[in-house]
Structure 1
């Protein structure tokens, strides 16, 4: 039985492969990557997005947008207006967000940033892909035939009971939606 890595190795070492350079460049640039779904302050245009793209915490690449295949309550809580996705599958809304491929270094940083596993827990869930950014067909992950991609997601089982009385959102965007409480940056606390 062949693994994906062994198959790619054969392709990479096959002479005269017209797309060999693209695959080699992608493997060298990204290596082992994990798909992560973000729905809060790590999305584009939000205050912590720079961690995913500036390269100081590891490598990350935007791949597309989607929403959870299950409903979850997305609330904004605490005095700093932090978005929390409560681990209550079947309650709330299908939540919109963005899909990134991240290397192990960035995934480890995200675990620390999200205080995983104490505050948030990282789980694998299905994301229904709405837009996929792989025009040159170089990504090593793809949605399945039904448009579903398995991604890591940070949500929480450690929430306060009164959070269940807060409004549930399907999309976190306090910049584009003035009705949502604005997040307070860590530096401003």
Structure 2
């Protein structure tokens, strides 16, 4: 079995997740050395300075070839084995920088959800990531879907940089109260 890192329509709850039917979910992950661009109906990752939030699944060789069909690899995307923040390797699909020219980056580098810093966990199916905010507060990061974020829509949502053990940092939303 190989690990595949998905960051867009293959994520749980997204339109193409059924292409991973039967593939075990291994948890959330973060890919370094790439930027995530919004192409409208789907995102495209390209090599570059950045970090992308996504999900990891275990797939066999048939599963990878199946995903190659969806991703039109090697024409639209190139399947590459890349390093995740934790040092492990996973297959992922990258486009070419010319394909995303002029396209905006996906906010918070997380398609379909948003990393949110909270002083304590809320009920959520994924385990929280323990972090420290730039201002010294300790808390957790959860990746929340837009409908969950609606609970804070009556107030502005500032952002805060957080760091995880080992020094990795990234930007999150920071609601003041749930």
User: For this pair of structures, how many residues does the alignment match?
Assistant: 115
Deviation at 1:45, TM superposition (A): 1.1
Q: Secondary structure at the match of 2:68?
A: helix
Instruction: Tell me if 1:84 matches 2:44.
Output: yes
| Alpha-carbon distance in structure 2 between the residues aligned to 1:43 and 1:167 | 18
Give 1:160 deviation, angstroms: 4.5
Q: Deviation per CA, 1:105-128, whole angstroms, max 9, x where unpaired?
A: 111010111000110001111113
| Residue number in structure 2 paired with 1:109 | 66
Q: Which structure shows the bigger proportion of residues in strand conformation?
A: 2
Two-structure CA RMSD over aligned residues (Å): 2.0
Normalising by structure 1, we get a TM-score of: 0.55
Matched ranges for 1:151-162 at <5 A: 151-157=90-96, 159-162=99-102
Question: Which runs of 5 or more residues in structure 1 are unaligned?
Answer: 1-32, 129-146, 179-189
Alignment partners' CA distance in 2, 1:154 and 1:122: 5
The TM-score with structure 2 as length reference comes to: 0.59
SS for the counterpart of 1:86 is strand
Using CA pairs under 8 Å that are at least 6 residues apart, name the structure with larger relative contact order, 1 or 2: 1
Which residue of structure 1 lines up, in the alignment, with residue 151 of structure 2?
Answer: none
Q: Distance in 2 between matches of 1:160 and 1:97?
A: 19
Q: After superposition, give the CA deviation of every residue in 1:43-90 in whole Å (9 maximum; x if it has no partner).
A: 11111111112x4xxxx21111110122x2211115xx2211123x21
- 2:146 aligned residue: 177
Give the 4+ runs in structure 1 shifted more than 3 A: none
